């Protein structure tokens, strides 16, 4: 019998993230699934984000008492129940009604932070009020700095813990497989229109009774009445600023009193600039393989970046994480936390909040099981000596893999 991932509707039968992916494929129309799935150009970066984990092998210990294990970690001086969080994923309201609230609520229940996307379809104040937990906010530095300042003021008033500035999208990558679903901008092909009609569950959940969801946190950027997900996309693209520089980060640092992170750093020299800018953290990210094709993965540069910053700010990363074991490989290399994107978005698309909760449960239990099999009782006990970079012919020393980090610091 041919192997198949589970693709039904019972979320409890999803044993891995790939099961949730198949469930999402069945529930979503093709154009929505492709939006989550695809990368830019030839998708070399997208593939690299996954392939890198096959190059890093574990070196387990034996005869270690692992009867008492802990998956928890610390981030900015506060406990998190697992060393990851839900990263910013746009258009969640197109995957499930009020998807942003459902993602945030699942994260709060699991004891991990949630990063609200700049292009969310629920107001940030509503997400904070209804979900609770540790809410961070993603921002883009649009041409209208006044709009950014107003969004930061709203976030501060709502109690948002951190701003995460995405900096790798001053120029849009070309996502060809996504574009092939459209006959012209914002107009689906006939085949895709017919495919939408074949997904009545999605239509009833997302489109009924008010039609396309609307962006809720971009009012100052969009013309009156032009805030629907469909109508606002072109306008937002024109608002992206290709002149963005570190001076703009300094401007935002001057007006935002909370934790401030830059997402999109991919080399040690830029990490050093982040230290000099007084940032609290960075997120190593190639935008999930959706921007520059042919780029290295965040895991490729993690060890050298950790050495460069030497514990002066938190180092986080995203890109291709599908297993708890992937997350532990990053932690052993010195990361402070991992951001997951597609994994929890597939959960949302598969079954709403229960699907996100299932994705988080899968990752947490995989982390616990992997720790036990490694002969290590805690995330904090990991270092590079538990890893071998296959093909490089070298052992990652404990010193290299566990350079000073922000874990446990304020």
Q: Do the Cβ atoms of 39 and 288 come closer than 8 Å? A: yes
- Burial (Cβ within 10 Å: 0-12, 13-18, ≥19) of residue 399: exposed
Peptide bond into 209 cis (omega under 30): yes
Q: Do the Cβ atoms of 279 and 261 come closer than 8 Å? A: yes
Q: Do the Cβ atoms of 371 and 69 come closer than 8 Å? A: yes
Q: Do the Cβ atoms of 367 and 328 come closer than 8 Å? A: yes
- Distance of alpha carbon 29 from alpha carbon 33, whole angstroms: 6
Element (H, E) at 139: strand 135-139
Helical residues (DSSP H) of 132-228, grouped into ranges: 145-158, 176-179, 190-197, 200-202
- Distance of alpha carbon 75 from alpha carbon 408, whole angstroms: 6
Q: Which of 199, 287, 361, 392 is labelled catalytic?
A: 287
What tokens does 341 get?
A: 């994107």
Closest CA relative to residue 321, chosen from 359, 368, 294: 359
User: What is the 8-class DSSP label of residue 163?
Assistant: E
Q: Do the Cβ atoms of 402 and 332 come closer than 8 Å? A: yes
Q: Do the Cβ atoms of 302 and 335 come closer than 8 Å? A: yes
> How far separated are the first and last CA of the chain, in Å rounded?
54
287 catalytically annotated: yes
- Distance of alpha carbon 187 from alpha carbon 370, whole angstroms: 46
- Distance of CA 356 to CAs 47, 131, 321, Å? 24, 14, 15
Q: Give me the active site residues, please.
A: 287
């Amino acid at each position: 019998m041919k192997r198949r991932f589970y693709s039904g509707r019972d979320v409890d039968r999803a044993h891995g993230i790939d099961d949730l992916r198949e469930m999402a494929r069945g529930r979503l129309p093709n154009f929505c699934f492709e939006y989550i799935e695809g990368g830019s150009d030839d998708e070399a970066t997208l593939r690299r984000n996954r392939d890198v984990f096959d190059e890093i092998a574990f070196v387990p210990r034996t005869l270690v008492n692992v009867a008492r294990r802990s998956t928890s970690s610390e981030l900015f001086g506060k406990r998190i129940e697992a060393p990851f969080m839900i990263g910013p994923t746009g258009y969640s309201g197109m995957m499930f009604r009020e998807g942003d609230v459902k993602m945030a609520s699942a994260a709060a229940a699991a004891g991990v932070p949630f990063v609200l996307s700049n292009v969310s379809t629920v107001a940030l104040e509503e997400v904070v009020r209804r979900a609770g937990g540790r809410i961070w906010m993603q921002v883009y530095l649009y041409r209208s700095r006044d709009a950014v300042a107003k969004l930061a003021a709203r976030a501060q008033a709502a109690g948002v813990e951190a701003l995460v500035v995405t900096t790798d999208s001053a120029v849009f990558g070309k996502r060809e497989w996504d574009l092939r679903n459209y006959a012209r901008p914002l107009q689906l092909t006939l085949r895709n229109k017919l495919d939408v009609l074949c997904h009545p569950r999605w239509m009833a959940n997302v489109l009924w009774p008010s039609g396309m969801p609307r962006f809720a946190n971009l009012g100052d950027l969009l013309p009156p009445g032009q805030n629907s997900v469909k109508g606002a996309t072109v306008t937002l693209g024109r608002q992206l600023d290709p002149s963005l520089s570190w001076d703009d980060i300094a401007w935002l640092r001057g007006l935002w009193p909370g934790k401030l992170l830059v997402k999109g750093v991919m080399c040690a020299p830029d990490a050093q600039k982040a230290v000099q800018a007084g940032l609290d953290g960075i997120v190593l990210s190639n935008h999930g393989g959706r921007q520059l094709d042919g780029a290295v993965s965040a895991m490729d540069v993690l060890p050298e970046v950790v050495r460069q910053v030497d514990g002066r700010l938190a180092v986080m990363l995203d890109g291709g994480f599908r297993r708890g074991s992937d997350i532990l490989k990053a932690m052993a290399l010195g990361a402070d936390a991992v951001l997951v994107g597609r994994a929890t978005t597939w959960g949302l698309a598969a079954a709403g909040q229960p699907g996100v909760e299932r994705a988080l449960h899968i990752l947490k239990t995989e982390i616990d099981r992997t720790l036990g099999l490694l002969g290590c009782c805690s995330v904090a006990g990991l270092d590079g000596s538990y890893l071998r970079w296959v093909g490089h012919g070298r052992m990652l020393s404990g010193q290299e893999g566990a350079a000073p980090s922000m874990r446990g610091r304020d």
